[in-house]
Amino acid sequence: MRIKLLLLALAFIFTLNPLVSTAQENDMSERKFRFGLHGSPNFGWIKPNIKEFEKSGLQPRFGFGYGLMMDYRFSESPNYLFSTGVNLSQFGGGLVEPWDSTVLVPNVDTTTYYGKLDRTYRLQYVNIPIMLKMRTNEIGYMSYFASVGFDLGVRTRAFANDNFEWTNSLGPANEEDVNIQDDIGLFRVALNLTGGGEFNLTGNTNVYIGVGWHNTLLNMFQGSEHVIQPDANGFPETDGNGVSIISRQKKAVPNYISLDLGLFF
C-alpha cells in the first residue's frame, strides 16, 4: 500500500516535469515549482473529549512519518507559496476506560468479568497537507517560514496493545497487536501549524527543518463505538442485574508534534 501511494505521487511529479524544467533557475525564489523529501519523527498523544475516559491514563507515544513535499509560487512575490505533498504518518497514544468481558465457563454457563482497559493506540494515515506558506527573503544562506493549513488523512492501519486490570484475577490476559481498524474512523482532518527555516547547500538544494503542531479536529472513533459508564473507581458501573451501563459514544482526538527534516531540490 505504501509503495503504491508513493509511486502515484512520483508519477504526479513527473507529469509536472516540463513545468519544473522551464521554471528552474539559479535563484530558488524565482522557481514556480520545487519538490523535496522529508522524514518526521513525532511525539503524539490522544486527548479524550468525554469524561468516561481516565485523563490520568494518557500515554504519549513516539512515531514517525515520511513523504514528498511540493511548493508552488502562486504570485509574483517569492514570499507566498502553496505547499502540499503526500506523506505517511504513524502516531498514537493511550487511553484508559471501563471494560467488561463475558466468557463461557464449563459447567457454569457464562461469567462476566469487570475491569479497566489500558489501551495504547498505534495509528497510521496517508496525509495530504494543504498549506499556505509565508517565508522571508534569504538572510545570508537562510530563510525562515511559517505555514498554516490542514492535514487531510485516510487511515491505512490501526493496532493496539491492551493491558487489563480486573476485579477478578481470572480475567483475560493482556494482548498485543490487536487489529482495531473497525473501531477507528477512516478519515482524519487536522489543523497544521508549522514553522522553521531553510539553509541553501548549493544551487537549488536546500536543507529544510521545521516543527509542526498537528491538532486533529474529527473524532477518531467510529460512530458505533460507545464507552461503558465508570463507577467511582473507574470500573464499569452496573445495573441491578449486574449488567454494565453503556454510556456515550467514544470521543477522542489524536494529536502530535513533529520535527520535520528534509531536502528541497
Per the confidence metrics, is the pTM higher than 0.85?
no
For 32-36, 200-204, 209-213, 257-261, which range has the lowest pLDDT when averaged over its residues? 200-204
**pLDDT of 3 over the 50 cut:** no
Phi-psi category of residue 76: left, alpha or beta, with phi > 0 → left and psi -120 to 50 → alpha:
alpha
CB within 8 Å of 69: residues ≥ 6 apart: 35, 36, 37, 38, 83, 84, 85, 208, 262, 264
Nearest partner of 131 among 185, 210, 186, 200, judged by Cα = 210
Q: How many domains, the chain?
A: 1
Q: Are strands 142-166 and 109-135 parallel, antiparallel or unpaired?
A: antiparallel
pLDDT for res 2 = 47
Domain CATH number, residue 229:
2.40.160.20
**Residues of the domain holding 197:** 2-264
DSSP structural state of residue 217: -
pLDDT for res 117 = 92
Q: Is residue 180 packed enough to be buried (19+ CB in 10 Å), middle (13-18) or exposed (0-12)?
A: middle
Give the mean pLDDT of the chain. 87
Query: What is the average per-residue pLDDT within 33-49?
Result: 96
Q: Which residue has the cell 481498524?
A: 181
